[in-house]
Chain A
Amino acid sequence: MSYFEMIDVCKGYGPPSARHDVLQDVNLSIEKNEFVAVIGFSGSGKSTLISLLAGLESPDSGEVRLAGQIMTEPGPNRGIMFQNYSLLPWLSVFQNIEIAVKRVFPQMPRRERKSYIQKYIDMVSLSGSEWKKPSELSGGMRQRLSLARTLAMQPEVLLLDEPLSALDALTRAVLQDEIIRIWEEDRRTVVMITNDVDEAALMADRIVPLTPGPAATLERNFPVTLDRPRERKTLNFNPEFKKLRNEVSGFMMDLNQEARQLRVESSIRLPDIEPIDLSQVG
C-alpha cells in the first residue's frame, strides 16, 4: 500500500439530470518523499483532483487515503498552495504565516514562534517585506508568501495547484529553482499540478498525465530518471530530457486528438436545412 493514494475516485457536478462528470475512476499512488507532477490540459479537472487530495471536496465514490487513513476533510497535514495565492489581504506577510503557525503549533512560545516564522520568510527570500500587505507585493512575491505559509505548517504532503502558472516566465524559472531547493532540504511528499511539460520534467520524480475531460482519468506514468540536482542550463541538451519531453508531449497531443474526436461524436448534429431565397420563389 502506498503512502498517499486515490482509489477509484469519481467526481461530478450538477444535478442528476445534467450531470457533468469531471473525474472517473482515478487511481493514483504516491510513495513517501516522492515528487509527482500531474499534467493536463485546462478544463481537464486538475483543480478538482487537487481539491479532492486536499479534502476540500469529497469524492462521489472511491476514497483518498493518507498513510492508510481515509481523508474526508481538509487539514494542515496536507498543505495546499493555491493557484491564486489565497492570501488574506488584510494581514501582513508575517501575520499571514502567523495565523497558520498559531493554529498548527498552538503550544509554541511567542518568541520561538517569531523566529520560526522569520525562518520561513527568509527561506522564500521575503526578508524585509515582513510588514507589507499582499497588495503591496508582486505576483512572484505573493506566491513565495503562499509557499512559505504552506511550508510553515510542516505538512506531511505538499499540494501545489498550478503554483506558477500565473507568473511570467522569468519569475517562474526563479521560483521553480527555489521550490526545488527548499524541497531538497527535507524531501517531503509533493503533488504538483501543472500544464507545463518542461516544468514537470525539471521538478518531478514522476509525471502523470490527466486525460482531457469530461470524465478524466490518469492513464500512464512517466518516471523521470534524471539525476538531481538538475541544471536548467544543460538540461535542454540532455538527450534523456528531450526524449522524455517528446514522449510526454506526444502522449498529450494524442490524448487531445482522441478527446477532440470523442467530442465531435458526442456533439449535437445540426439539422441540414438551407434558407429559402425568396427572390427565387416568385
Chain B
Amino acid sequence: MLTKLKHLLLKIIDLTALGFLEPIVRLCYGEEPGTQVKKIGQFMMVPVLVFLLFIMVWSAFAPRHKTKSGEVPTPAVTFDSYRSIMTFHGREGDKERAYLATGDAREKWLAEAEARLEELKPLRAEAEAAVEEAEAAHQGALTATYDPALAEYNEARQAAMEESKQRIAKLKVRAEGIAADDSAAKGELLAVYRAHTAQTANAKSDYQKLKQQADAILKAKFPQLAAARARLTRIAEEEQYLKQLVKMLSGGNREARVADGQTKLDALRAQYAGAEGAALFPLAKSINSAESRLARTAESAYAKPWTLPMQIIRSVYCVFVGFFMGSVIAIPIGVLCGLSRTFMAAMTPFIALFKPVSPIVWLPIFLIVIGGFFPDPDKHWFFTTLWNAPLIGWLKINPAFLASAATVAMCSLWATMVNTALGVASVDKDHINVARVLRLGFWPRLFKIVLPSALPLVFAGLRISLGVGWMVLIAAELLASSEGLGKFVWDQFNNGASDSFAKMVVVVFVVGIIGLLLDRIMIVFQRAVSFEGSVATV
C-alpha cells in the first residue's frame, strides 16, 4: 500500500517535472538517507540560498542608485507595494459588492463600516499627533545640526569674499604705481592677478563643500517622521475607502437608488392622475424619462477600475486566445510542410520573411486591420455579445485585445510550425513500414502513425510558442493600451507616484511567476504525449 503510494508520488513528480521533490519522498521512505540529504542540499538548499543571497545583494545595492522616480526599490519596498496593490484590489471588490448589496446584509455591513469609521477617528488623531511630534523632533534635530552647518557655510563664504575684496584692493593700489614702460612690473601684476583668481576659486570650492554638507543634513531621511507619515497615509486611505463604502451602502447603493427612483416615479404618476389639460404633456414626458432612468439604474453595475489581479487574468486569457489562434494556424501548415516537400518549399519564403519581424511592428498593423472590421466597436454585435457573456463579460474584450492576441499569434506560431513540420517529416521509417504493411490509407496513416509520432515535437514547439507569446503579449499590451500587465507597467511609468517604480518591480515577479506556471503546464502536456526519454525542464 505504502509502496504503491510512493510509486504514485514519484510518478506524479516525474510527470509534473518537479524533480527536486523526489529526494524528499525517498527520504520519507528511508531510502538511502545519505544520498537523499545530499540531493536535497544540492537541488533545494542551493537554489534557496542563492535566492536569499540575491535578495540581500538587492537590498544592499538598490538604495544607492537614485533616479528621477526615486530610489530603486528594495525587496521590502517591493513587497509593500505588492500588498498595497492587493489591498486596492480587495477594497474595489468590496465597493462593488457594497453597491450590489441588498436588504439586511446591507444594513448590517453599513453599521459595521460606520463603526469602523468611528474607531478610526481617535487613531487618526493619534497618528496626526505623532506626525506633528515627529516633525517637531525633525525640526529640532535640524536646528541642532543644520543651522550650525549653514552658519559655518555662511561664515566661510563671508570670509572668503572679504579676503578676495582685500586682495583686489591691494592689486588696484599696486597697479596705480606702475609706469607705462615698466614691462617687468606689468608682467608681475598679471601673475599676481592670476594667483588671486585661483585662490578665489579654491576658497569657493571649500565653502561649497560646506554647503553640500548642510544640504545633505536637510535631505537626510528621518525614519521616525517617514514611519509616522506612512501610518497616517494608511489610516487616511482606509478612512477614504470606508467613506466610499458607506456611500455605496447607503445613498449610492443600487437598491437605494432604485427605491428612490421608484418613489419619484410614483409621485409623478400620482400627479399625472390628478392633472388635466395642457399640464399632462410635460408630465407624460417626465414619467417616461423617469421610467427609463429607473430601468437603467436597476441594471447598472459599479464602475470598478482595473486592478492588477483582474489585469493578470485578462493577460492570461489574451495569451491563450493568441496562442490558440497561432496553433490553429501553425499545426495544419506544419503538418502539410512535413508531409510535402513542395508545400514546404512554398512556405519557406513566408516563414523566413515573417519569422524575424518584431511584435512592435505587427501590433499597429493588426490594430489598423482589426479596426477596419469594427468601425464602431462599442455598438458592434460581436463585442456587445462578448460583453454580456457570462464569465468573460467583465474582460471587456475590445479591438485592442484582439490586436494583442493576433500579435501573440503571429509571433509565437513559428516555433510550433517548424517543430510540427520537423516532427511529421522525421517519422521513424519503421513506423511508416508498419503503415505500408497494413496498407493504411492517407487519413488513418496521418492520424494513427504520423501525428502520434510527431506529437512530442509538436508539444515541444507549443511550449516554446507559449513562452514567446507571453513575452510578446506584455509588450503588445503596453503598446496597444489593452488592459493587462503591459498596460499596468505603462500606467505606472506615466503615473510617477512615489511607489510606481516598486509596482513595476512587482510586475517583473508576477510576469515571471506566471510564465513559469505556463511553462510547467506545457511540460506536463509534453510529458504526457512523449513516449521516450524525458523532457528538459529548464
Contact = CB atoms under 8 A, between A and B. Distances in A.
A-B interaction: yes
Interface of A: 54, 56, 73-76, 78-80, 82, 84-86, 88-91, 99-100, 103-104, 133-135, 153
A91 B532 CA distance: 12
Nearest to B441: A103
A90 B452 contact: yes
B437 A88 contact: no
Contact of B439 (A74, A80, A91, A133): A74
Contacts of B455: 90
Interface of B: 428, 430-431, 433-434, 436-440, 444, 448-449, 452-453, 455, 529, 531-532
Given A133-B531, A135-B531, A135-B532, A86 B431 contact: yes
A100 B436 contact: no
B151 to A, nearest CB: 86
Contacts of A153: 438
Contacts of B440: 103
A100 B439 CA distance: 10
A88 B431 contact: yes
A-B pairs, 4 with minimum CB distance: A86-B430, A89-B531, A90-B452, A103-B438
B434 A79 contact: no
A86 B434 contact: yes
A84 B429 CA distance: 11
Given A75-B439, A76-B439, A90-B455, A82 B431 contact: no
A54 B437 contact: yes
Contacts of A75: 437, 439
B434 A88 contact: yes
A229 to B, nearest CB: 30
A100 B452 CA distance: 16
B396 to A, nearest CB: 42
Contact of A76 (B437, B449, B453): B437
A99 B437 contact: no
Contacts, number: 54
A105 B106 CA distance: 71
Contact of B452 (A56, A74, A88): A88
Nearest to B444: A103
Contact of B532 (A85, A86, A89): A89
Contact of B531 (A54, A90, A104): A90
Contacts of A54: 437
B437 A74 contact: yes
A84 B437 contact: no
Contacts of A91: 452
Contacts of A86: 428, 430-431, 433-434
A90 B531 CA distance: 6
Contacts of B438: 76, 99-100, 103-104, 153
B100 to A, nearest CB: 51
Given A84-B430, A133-B531, A135-B531, A90 B439 contact: no
B72 to A, nearest CB: 51
Residue among A74, A76, A91 with most chain B CB within 10 A: A74
Contact of A90 (B430, B434, B453): B453
21 contacts: A56-B436, A73-B439, A74-B433, A76-B437, A79-B437, A80-B433, A82-B433, A84-B430, A85-B430, A86-B430, A88-B431, A88-B449, A88-B452, A89-B532, A90-B529, A99-B438, A100-B438, A103-B438, A103-B439, A104-B438, A153-B438
A98 to B, nearest CB: 11
Given A84-B430, A88-B449, A90-B453, A74 B436 contact: yes
Contacts of B431: 86, 88
A104 B438 CA distance: 7
A78 B444 CA distance: 20
B436 A99 contact: no
Contacts of A56: 433, 436-437
Contacts of A135: 531-532
Contacts of B430: 82, 84-86
Given A86-B431, A104-B438, 6 more contacts: A88-B453, A90-B453, A91-B452, A99-B448, A100-B438, A103-B444
A216 B420 CA distance: 41
A79 B532 CA distance: 26
Contacts of B452: 88, 90-91
Contacts of B532: 89, 135
Nearest to A103: B438
Contacts of B448: 99
B225 to A, nearest CB: 68
Contacts of A84: 430
A92 B507 CA distance: 46
Contacts of B449: 88
